[in-house]
Amino acid sequence: MILGSTGSIGRAALEVVEGLGPGARIVGLTARDNGQLLAEQVRRTGAPLAAIADERGYDALRRACPGTRVMAGPEGLVELVRSADADFVLAAIVGAAGLAATLAAVERGLAVGVANKESLVVAGAILMPLARQRGATIIPVDSEHSAVFQCLSAGRLSEVRKIYLTASGGPFRTWSAAQMAEVTPADALRHPTWSMGPKITIDSATMMNKALEVIEARHLFGLAAEQIDVLVHPQSIVHSMVEYCDGSIIAQMGTPDMKTPIQYAMTYPQRGAAGGAALDWKAVRALEFEPPDPERFPALRLGYEAARLGGSSGAVLNAANERAVDLFRERRIGFLDIARLSERVLSRHRCIAEPTLEQLLESDRWARMEVDACC
Ligand code: NAD
Ligand code: MG
């Protein structure tokens, strides 16, 4: 089943499933409010279950998909995850809104491909032990984490010295701080190498995306924040690297096409032939790497701070950023305010070391209100 099937990852995943042939069958699809596209996807795949988070879309979806059981509301999505006859779930909802459905999939002990990094940033400390307890396999879909996951088959986790998460640097890699102060939502939505949904595209422009990915990596691989390095790599060909204790560095490379990590998660531990396009080495002139600039991209530092603090700080940083990105897209705050407000809210938070799920959700609500109060 594909959660968030109308999004950038969801649509790419449906293409991958078509390429995998008759062995792969879709049993459930979900969306927030794009009922028309969801209905088309249901008709094309013959999915027996569908859920729409926005209840206003329920009647129209039911009329458009007569042979399908339709559910609605955030609870409808969780019910779909609990009842679908599935062995693999792709968690591709954007934001903390995806957490409940990801948790439900992990609770069932299924194989879960996690694109929804925010669910790990918010509640990785609950999701990862739960997965072990329920026998769920969590396979990262985020390209960097998929790369690390693949590179980890070259050695043991205990032999890892550090990992390098690569970053394209986004559209403002070479811009001055003064130029960045004037950035509009349209500027921030133009990514140089990856084609993605709007929230992650803006996160890439601030480098908050990499900040969230540091926290995501910490939870997925159980590494210390000091073992996670970020390298700007404008060509987006090396998707990430693992350095072992003997000095060997293993990299995973390919075209910047999310179909490759999506398919890898779906077919794991095998590999399928329906992933992204092959890399044309003749067209590759150089592979460049440079350290990120902490002055122009302060968001990255916040990711390390939250990764070190652990506990409820990931939930707070994520929620503050989600709210600030919404405000920026509504043109109510400037581009640089996204990191500034996130920093302010994180610094005001009294971190809970071992929070319950309810405390994490409460921290998330608090952080969103703080952003509104600060701007
Ligand atoms: P998107 O905005 O294109 O799609 C989001 C999907 O989630 C849509 O189907 C939407 O209907 C659904 N959704 C949004 N809000 C919801 C809510 N409140 N309740 C239920 N469903 C909701 O986003 P995307 O770019 O596909 O990203 C999805 C996730 O994958 C994000 O967590 C992102 O960080 C991660 N990711 C994306 C890419 C990429 O290339 N797009 C790469 C790496 C990781
Ligand atoms: Mg990524």
Would you say residue 95 lies in a domain? Answer: yes
Q: Domain boundary residue among 92, 115, 140?
A: 140
User: Rounded to an integer, what distance in angstroms lies between the CA atom of residue 141 and that of residue 92?
Assistant: 9
**Do 175 and 287 have their domain in common?**
yes
Q: Where in the sequence is the domain holding 72, given as residue range(s)?
A: 2-140
Q: Are residues 193 and 284 in the same domain?
A: yes
Q: Please, which pLDDT band fits residue 121 given cuts at 50, 70 and 90?
A: very high
Say if residue 135 is in the same domain as residue 8. yes
Query: Any residues with Cβ below 6 Å from ligand 1, and which?
Result: 4-10, 31-32, 34, 53, 77, 92-95, 97, 115-118, 142, 194, 196-200, 258
d(CA 226, CA 305): 11
What number does the ligand 1 atom closest to the CA of 194 have?
40
pLDDT higher than 80, residue 274: no
CA of 165 to the centre of ligand 2 (A): 9
Q: Which pLDDT does position 195 carry in this prediction?
A: 86
137: confidence class by pLDDT, cuts 50, 70, 90? very high
Shared domain for 85 and 196, answered yes or no, is: no
Same domain, 9 and 114: yes
d(CA 310, CA 283): 42
Tell me what the mean pLDDT of segment 50-77 comes to. 98
Q: Which pLDDT belongs to residue 289? A: 98
The predicted structure's pLDDT at residue 191? 85
Atom 20 of ligand 1: nearest residue by CA position: 32
Domain contains 191 = yes
- For residue 31, which ligand has an atom nearest its CA? 1
Is 321 in contact with 338 (CB distance < 8 Å)? yes
Buried b vs exposed e over 90-100: b needs ≥16 C-beta within 10 Å?
A: bbbbbbbbbbb
The answer to the question of residue 353 being in a domain is no
pLDDT at 104 (0 to 100): 98
Give the distance (Å) from ligand 1 centre to CA of residue 217: 19
Flag whether pLDDT at 276 surpasses 90: no
Return the pLDDT at 367.
98
Last residue within a domain, chosen from 82, 106, 140: 140
pLDDT at residue 113 tops 80: yes
Give the per-residue pLDDT at 192.
Answer: 85
How close is the Cα of 62 to the center of ligand 2, in Å? Answer: 35
Q: Residue 341: its pLDDT value, please?
A: 98
Model pTM greater than 0.95? yes
How many structural domains is the chain composed of?
A: 2
Query: pLDDT tens for residues 216-262?
Result: 999 999 999 999 999 999 999 999 999 999 999 999 999 999 999 99
Give 277's DSSP letter: P
Which helix H or strand E contains 90, and what residues bound it? strand 88-91
Give 102's pLDDT tier (boundaries 50, 70, 90).
very high
In a shared domain, residues 117 and 157? no
Tell me if 332 is assigned to some domain: no
The CATH number covering residue 120 comes to: 3.40.50.720
Question: Rounded mean pLDDT of 28-46?
Answer: 98
What's the order of all strands across the beta sheet hosting 249-253?
Answer: 228-232, 160-167, 238-244, 249-253
Residue nearest to atom 44 of ligand 1 (CA): 142
Among all bound ligands, the one having the nearest atom to the CA of 167 is 2
Question: What whole-number distance in Å separates Cα of residue 123 and Cα of residue 313?
Answer: 10
307-353 pLDDT, tens digit each: 999 999 999 999 999 999 999 999 999 999 999 999 999 999 999 99
Ligand 1: which of 40, 93, 202, 214 to mutate, judged by most atoms within 8 Å of the beta carbon? 93
The model's confidence at residue 193, banded by pLDDT at 50, 70 and 90, is: confident
Residue 356 in domain:
no
108, 6: one domain? yes
Whether residues 157 and 302 fall in one domain: yes
Q: Are residues 50 and 97 in the same domain?
A: yes
- For residues 9 and 103, state if they share a domain: yes
Tell me the pLDDT tens digit for each residue of 146-175. Answer: 999 999 999 999 999 999 999 999 999 999
* Strand blocks (E) in 111-191: 111-114, 137-140, 160-167
Residue 268 located in a structural domain = no
In a domain, 98, yes or no: yes
Q: Of 140, 158, 191, at which residue does a domain stop?
A: 140
Q: Answer yes or no: do 97 and 157 share one domain.
A: no
**Amino acid, res. 34:** N
Does residue 209 share a domain with residue 127?
A: no
Q: How far is the CA of 143 from the centre of ligand 2 (A)?
A: 5
Residue 194 is predicted with a pLDDT of 83
Mean pLDDT of the chain: 97
**Is the pLDDT reported for residue 275 higher than 80?**
no
Element (H, E) at 88: strand 88-91
Residue 331 falls inside a structural domain: no
